[in-house]
């Protein structure tokens, strides 16, 4: 490991480009591929991922906030950028200046954007979110026609997209709920377009939906976790097999590495770490690893996960602290100070998967990745 950093996150250019091609193949040439790069590109590094993906099969980027969108613009990304999250009133001026597309569902936001469009002479492109049963952001279908008319009346505002989001597609192999949401969305689109012009972009698909419901009606797919090389869930993989679809080949993009800060011998009967939650049953060798829950190594991994050193597994002993944890390297006798430790990713024939850490920590792979501290250096390899 080069440089002064005690840890780093490696981003595989090859794996990312491979996954992009898999989704391009899946959605076909006529649909746009939006890479969801919110949450620091699911922990992979916003600018690193956008820099690799722009112009290489990804047409759009999706961010959570105006700040993330503006950062993409400052980095020279010219592709369309859609803000998926909430843009507060005091961020709208910057959003318009950076030519970001905004997801809208409040009349107050639309009114302020109309004022900005008039003042700056710019065209502001909006994607109206339709509430179909997730009960997160969105305009109720019965209010949609009036909401859209209200936008179209304002010079400078354009309704470019109609979006929605599935609530229960990853957690189950039963897809009656998402099918109902799909029906609600389609009916809302039909009702809107019966009385007015067509809306150019329709989008509702996340990774699981892009795989399971390659609906011809959609012309943009918002793909996050799949581009990073992970299946959204076991259920999505299983549903794909049950539907007799050939599963995509996805390759994890991220590896997380640190180096050993100290090697020490401990006697049998030693209580390791805060709370003395692990007691050695034999004389052992411990590696002190300078990574903790501040970095995103979940405290739920205490006494549960493994790390990889020289291609071998070493179990985590004791509690994960804010900046340190310990691993037992008794069975890796050649482990030495400053040796590389793989916390996530492959080493030789072994691999630590984000899904495995998630299961141990009682969460999902998305959270394991998204909570990787943005301060850890990201390196494209």
Interface with ligand PLP, residue 141, by CB under 6 A: no
* CB 69, CB 63: distance < 8 Å: yes
Give the distance from CA 161 to its chain's centroid.
22
- As measured in angstroms, the least distance from the Cβ of 40 to ligand PLP is 13
Name the one range near ligand PLP by CB under 6 A: 51-59, 171-179, 223-231, 242-250: 223-231
* CB 227, CB 19: distance < 8 Å: yes
Interface with ligand PLP, residue 224, by CB under 6 A: yes
Total residues binding ligand PLP (CB under 6 A): 12
Active-site entry in 129, 177, 274, 278: 274
| Two tokens, residue 255 | 């590896």
Interface with ligand PLP, residue 130, by CB under 6 A: no
Q: Which of 232, 273, 296, 345 binds ligand PLP (CB under 6 A)?
A: 232
Instruction: Give the x/- contact pattern for ligand PLP in 20-49, rule: CB under 6 A.
Output: ----------------x-------------
Helix residue ranges, H only, 31-106: 38-42, 46-53, 66-74, 92-97
Instruction: Give the x/- contact pattern for ligand PLP in 307-326, rule: CB under 6 A.
Output: --------------------
Give the distance from CA 163 to its chain's centroid.
18
- As measured in angstroms, the least distance from the Cβ of 226 to ligand PLP is 6
Q: Which of 100, 225, 270, 341 binds ligand PLP (CB under 6 A)?
A: 225
Name the one range near ligand PLP by CB under 6 A: 88-96, 174-182, 225-233, 321-329: 225-233
Interface with ligand PLP, residue 223, by CB under 6 A: yes
| CA R_g for the chain | 24
Q: Which H/E stretch holds residue 315?
A: strand 312-317
The residue whose Cβ lies closest to ligand PLP is 224
Interface with ligand PLP, residue 201, by CB under 6 A: no
Cβ distance to ligand PLP smaller for residue 206 or 316: 206
HSE value, Cβ hemisphere, 13 Å, CA-based, for 78: 1
Cβ distance to ligand PLP smaller for residue 222 or 378: 222
- In angstroms, the CA 364 to CA 320 distance is 19
Cβ distance to ligand PLP smaller for residue 204 or 316: 204
- In angstroms, the CA 228 to CA 37 distance is 10
Cβ distance to ligand PLP smaller for residue 82 or 192: 82
* CB 379, CB 9: distance < 8 Å: yes
274 is catalytic: yes
Question: Residue 65: which residues within 8 A CB-CB, separation 6 or more?
Answer: 38, 83, 85, 87, 91
- As measured in angstroms, the least distance from the Cβ of 347 to ligand PLP is 26
Q: Which of 7, 181, 207, 342 binds ligand PLP (CB under 6 A)?
A: 207
- In angstroms, the CA 1 to CA 338 distance is 9
Name the one range near ligand PLP by CB under 6 A: 53-61, 140-148, 202-210, 257-265: 202-210
Q: Which residues in the 66-125 window bind ligand PLP by CB under 6 A? A: 84
CB atoms within 10 A of CB 29: 6
Cβ distance to ligand PLP smaller for residue 101 or 310: 101
Full DSSP string of 117-159: HHHH---EEEEEEBPSSS-SS-B-GGGHHHHHHHHHTSTTEEE
Q: Exposed, middle or buried: residue 274 (CB in 10 Å: 0-12, 13-18, 19+)?
A: middle
Instruction: Give the x/- contact pattern for ligand PLP in 154-193, rule: CB under 6 A.
Output: -----------x----------------------------
Interface with ligand PLP, residue 50, by CB under 6 A: no
Active-site entry in 32, 38, 257, 264: 38
Cβ distance to ligand PLP smaller for residue 17 or 225: 225
* CB 288, CB 324: distance < 8 Å: yes
- In angstroms, the CA 168 to CA 175 distance is 8
* Positions that interact with ligand PLP (CB under 6 A): 36, 84, 165, 206-208, 222-226, 232
Residues annotated as part of the active site: 38, 274
């Amino acid at each position: 490991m080069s440089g002064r950093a005690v840890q780093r996150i490696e981003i595989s250019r090859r794996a990312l480009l491979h996954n992009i091609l898999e989704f391009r193949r899946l959605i076909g040439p006529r649909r746009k591929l939006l890479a969801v790069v919110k949450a620091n590109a699911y922990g992979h590094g916003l600018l690193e991922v956008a820099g690799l993906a722009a112009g290489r099969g990804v047409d759009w980027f999706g961010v959570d906030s105006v700040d993330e969108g503006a950062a993409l613009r400052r980095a020279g990304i010219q592709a369309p950028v859609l803000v998926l999250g909430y843009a507060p009133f005091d961020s709208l001026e910057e959003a318009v200046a950076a030519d970001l597309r905004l997801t809208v569902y409040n009349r107050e936001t639309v009114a302020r954007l109309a004022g900005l469009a008039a003042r700056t002479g710019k065209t502001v492109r909006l994607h109206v979110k339709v509430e179909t049963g997730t009960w997160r952001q969105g305009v109720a279908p019965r209010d949609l026609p009036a909401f859209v008319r209200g936008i179209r009346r304002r010079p400078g505002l354009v309704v470019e997209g109609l979006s929605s989001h599935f609530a229960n597609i990853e957690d189950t192999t039963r897809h009656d709920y998402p099918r109902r949401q799909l029906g609600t969305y389609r009916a809302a689109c039909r009702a809107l377009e019966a009385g007015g012009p067509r809306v150019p972009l329709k989008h509702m698909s996340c990774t699981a939906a892009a795989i399971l419901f390659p609906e011809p009606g959609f012309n943009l797919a918002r793909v996050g976790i799949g581009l990073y090389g992970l299946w959204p869930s076991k259920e999505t993989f299983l549903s794909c097999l049950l539907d007799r679809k050939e599963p995509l080949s996805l390759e994890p993009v991220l590896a997380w590495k640190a180096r050993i800060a100290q090697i020490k011998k401990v006697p049998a009967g030693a209580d390791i770490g805060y709370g003395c939650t692990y007691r050695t049953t034999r004389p052992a060798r411990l590696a002190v690893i300078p990574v903790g829950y501040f970095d995103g190594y979940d405290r739920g991994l205490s006494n549960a996960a493994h790390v990889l050193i020289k291609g071998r597994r070493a179990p985590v002993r004791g509690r994960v602290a804010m900046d340190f944890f310990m691993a037992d390297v008794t069975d890796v006798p050649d482990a030495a100070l400053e040796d590389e430790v793989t916390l996530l990713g492959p080493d030789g024939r072994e691999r630590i998967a984000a899904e495995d850490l998630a299961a141990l920590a009682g969460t999902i792979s998305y959270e394991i990745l998204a909570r990787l501290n943005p301060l850890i250096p990201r390196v494209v390899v």
